[in-house]
Amino acid sequence: MPSLQELEIMHPELDTFELVPQAPGIWLWGYGTYPESSILAGQPKQQRIEYWSDVETALLECPMVGHRIDGTGNLPSSMLVTVSDVAPDWFDPADAGECWEAEEGGFC
């Protein structure tokens, strides 16, 4: 695995690197901005760089980057996003032809 300095040279458009658990293993992600030569110039960029099947190996090979790992090797509960079973007051299915919950038969 390259050093942090080597990662920055290999991926000049990325300025932050982070280990992120994604079952069943863990990914090294890079974050930055698309370069001017891209059709997405100036927009945020995130890129998966390397994958490990276990957290311990990733931490040994990338001690120089931040991580989203708690003691269990999972995302901390504060980072988990939940969606309510009940639509919010502002939701209108006519806006985009979507529905919050499926009616009988699985369709809106």
pTM score, whole prediction: 0.57
Residue 50, exposed/middle/buried by CB under 10 A (0-12, 13-18, 19+)? middle
DSSP H/E element including 26: strand 25-33
CA distance 94 to 45: 32
| pLDDT tens-place string over residues 69-86 | 554 444 445 444 556 677
| pLDDT tens-place string over residues 31-54 | 888 888 888 888 888 889 999 998
